Amino acid sequence: MSEAMLECRGLTKYFGQNPALLNMNISLPSGKIIGLLGPNGSGKTTLIKLACGLLTPTEGEILVCGHKPGIESKALVSYLPEHTYLPDWMTVTDCLEFFRDFYEDFDFDKAIAMLESLQVPAKARMKTLSKGTKEKVQLVLVMSRRARLYLLDEPIGGVDPAARDYILGTILKNYCEDSTVLISTHLIADVEKILDEFMFIQNGQLVSYASTDSLREDLGKSIDQYFREVFRC
């Protein structure tokens, strides 16, 4: 049985009186690309931030490779937030240098190669780049680490449809085979081709967790079709 990359045990998070996650129990294996899917406000970003140690649980616990969020777990996690966070005054190369200084597992040469493949100008300042190109830079930084768990929050939300397949291919080719990638997205039809498994959450609770192959074989449906049925308004 493979090691659990991410494990939730009765995981609950409240913001004031409002529950963002409620008694979530799940164990995600190694070596998988997993879709974290659900309507707006379902708790996807909250779960990712809990795994990163940016939020603390109200009840229950969350473990990354057996570690509670902290120094040990943060060294194993590579996180892509939903919003751009890199300073505008930096050049793209400055950003790579910053990550190389900060993370021991950062592969600078790999990052340079990925920038070239995505046609991102290494000498350009961040303030001169489009929103989509900034997202490409952030993705390159995240996927150039040799992490155990990659947490990607809307990795293709700001890029044009023509670039999405290219970026998904970049994710597929650049994560370690014994690692796990958890992708939160609304663009299910674009992403599902690279997913091994998926989990649906709604109102902070786990609705479904299954393999992509079993869904196709047992129900003859795509994840996008199944999502529309489960979460029909």
| pLDDT attached to residue 1 | 44
- Mean pLDDT, consecutive 10-residue segments, the chain of 233 residues? 83 94 95 93 95 95 94 92 87 95 93 91 94 88 93 83 80 82 91 93 94 89 91 76
Q: Which domains does the chain have, with CATH numbers?
A: 4-230 (3.40.50.300)
* pLDDT tens digits along 109-135: 999 999 998 889 999 999 999 888 888
| pLDDT attached to residue 183 | 95
d(CA 57, CA 95): 31
Residue 21 in tokens: 């996650």
Residue with tokens 């489960």: 230
Residues in the chain: 233
pTM given for the model: 0.92
| pLDDT attached to residue 167 | 80
d(CA 25, CA 46): 15
Q: How many CB atoms lie within 10 A of CB 88?
A: 11
d(CA 119, CA 183): 23
